Structure 1
């Protein structure tokens, strides 16, 4: 069921890793090395993926290589949203992949790519079809982000909130299905590309959408799913019960499982993006989750 473990998410994006504290990513690099070793010790056959770069930055990837972060991963990942946030056009996807391949000996996966309906559903419809044309023959894994819109009552995972202007609100329109359960125009095309194309869907702690999501994914022919288990959530009461429920519901999918987010009490700062006080604790979390779900 677990085909890959992803170590963190968007480490070169302030919304997921505070590089104001870890200015040269040396803490992150050591954390990834230890976590990769821990995962390998639990399951030497599982694929280990470096948290997806967002934005795609070859200089960052070279820094990861120089600092040894790539020594304990098997795949490097990229995220791209050229119709919403990136400063390049959608037709440039093959060039972006080629740049990353030239800078690393590792295979490249696209573990998040998506288009919001902030402007119009037709933009997402075009974006899904064009993305499939550009990427499915280029890389081994493509995960469309996401199945559901982010509920408006929930915060987006960003450090900047409304200071981003309209860019912030695009986070809430990335799904193929609206918050009220209404399918968008692009949803009808997804089955044209499954099971080759996967879905990236994050589930919040005790997420009420879990069972409905599974039903939709099965209906759409999705086989490959990317989701996550939060180290921060593991400090909540009844965390293991929720993790068990989530992973049991997803047992029929080939899952790329992301380990991410620092418990506030264990960070240098009290924030989920903070580097941890002790990177060994993240490695221990990775080992425990891999032992529990990926044996």
Structure 2
């Protein structure tokens, strides 16, 4: 069910990696290399994806190449939202892919693409169609972000939140489905392209939308899904039970599983964007999750102590 393991999310975006603590990405390179090695040690063939970059910045990839990171991944990934946040037009998508492909010998995946319905549902509907037309023959994997609108009572994972103005509120309107689960115009259009475009849907800890999401993804014909398991969440009580439930529910899909988010007590600073105190701790988390969800059938997990983390790994500090 897992076709790829993704190492972090948007490491060149200050909402996901603290650039003040790591301005040259030296620490991130250590984290990525350690994770790449750890994943390969427990699984000899699983595709390792470098966390999708946003913005699409060739200089960041050049930096990772110089630091040896690309020797420990099999794919690089990009994220783009030209109608909402990026300072380029949607028809530039092929050029953006070419910028990265010209400096790497690895495949380039588009693991988050999207258009919000913040201005109008018609804009998002057109955006689904145009994005599929531009990328379907150019990127081996495309993941539309996202299935659901972000609930209005939650917070978007950004650095400055409401201070970002309308840019912040667009985060709440990226879904094919509204917060209440009813479909938007773009939902039906997406169904026509689900053979070439998968979904990216993040599930929060004990997310109430999980079962309905599985129903909708089957209905839409989704084959490829990108989601994540949070290293920070792994310290919550009952974390493994939730991870098992989430991954069992997603068993029908080919999953790109993203590992990210530093626990507050294991970072250089008490924030999920912080570099870890010890990169190997994050790498070990990646390895445990790959070993658990790539190699064992669901029925075996609860009876095999080899795959249970130590008590202090799933309890809040």
**Separation in structure 2 between the aligned mates of residue 278 and residue 162 of structure 1, nearest angstrom:** 32
Q: CA deviation at 1:191?
A: 1.4
Q: Look up the match of 2:28.
A: 28
Q: Look up the match of 2:289.
A: 289
**Separation in structure 2 between the aligned mates of residue 198 and residue 181 of structure 1, nearest angstrom:** 19
> Within 5 Å, which residues of 2 pair with 1:55-204?
55-204=55-204
Q: CA deviation at 1:195?
A: 2.4
TM-score by length of 1: 0.99
**Separation in structure 1 between the aligned mates of residue 195 and residue 65 of structure 2, nearest angstrom:** 32
User: Any idea what the Cα deviations from partners look like across 1:82-115, whole Å, max 9, x if unmatched?
Assistant: 0000000000000001110001111100000000
User: Any idea what the Cα deviations from partners look like across 1:147-195, whole Å, max 9, x if unmatched?
Assistant: 0000011100101111111100000000000001111000011111112
Gaps of 5+ in 1: none
**Separation in structure 1 between the aligned mates of residue 200 and residue 24 of structure 2, nearest angstrom:** 29
Residue 237 in structure 1 maps to residue 237 in structure 2: yes
Q: Look up the match of 2:267.
A: 267
> Within 5 Å, which residues of 2 pair with 1:241-260?
241-260=241-260
**Separation in structure 2 between the aligned mates of residue 94 and residue 181 of structure 1, nearest angstrom:** 33
Q: Look up the match of 2:305.
A: none
**Separation in structure 2 between the aligned mates of residue 203 and residue 103 of structure 1, nearest angstrom:** 33
**Separation in structure 2 between the aligned mates of residue 159 and residue 92 of structure 1, nearest angstrom:** 27
Q: CA deviation at 1:294?
A: 1.3
User: 3-state SS of the aligned residue for 1:162?
Assistant: helix
User: 3-state SS of the aligned residue for 1:179?
Assistant: coil
User: Any idea what the Cα deviations from partners look like across 1:4-39, whole Å, max 9, x if unmatched?
Assistant: 000000000011100110111010001100100100
Residue 38 in structure 1 maps to residue 14 in structure 2: no
Runs of 4+ in 1 over 6 A off after TM superposition: none
**Separation in structure 1 between the aligned mates of residue 293 and residue 81 of structure 2, nearest angstrom:** 31
User: 3-state SS of the aligned residue for 1:228?
Assistant: strand
Native 8 Å contact 2:132 2:196 kept in 1: no
Gaps of 5+ in 2: 296-317
**Separation in structure 2 between the aligned mates of residue 68 and residue 233 of structure 1, nearest angstrom:** 29
**Separation in structure 1 between the aligned mates of residue 20 and residue 64 of structure 2, nearest angstrom:** 17
**Separation in structure 2 between the aligned mates of residue 85 and residue 7 of structure 1, nearest angstrom:** 23
**Separation in structure 2 between the aligned mates of residue 106 and residue 145 of structure 1, nearest angstrom:** 23
User: 3-state SS of the aligned residue for 1:186?
Assistant: helix
Q: Look up the match of 1:221.
A: 221
Aligned length: 295
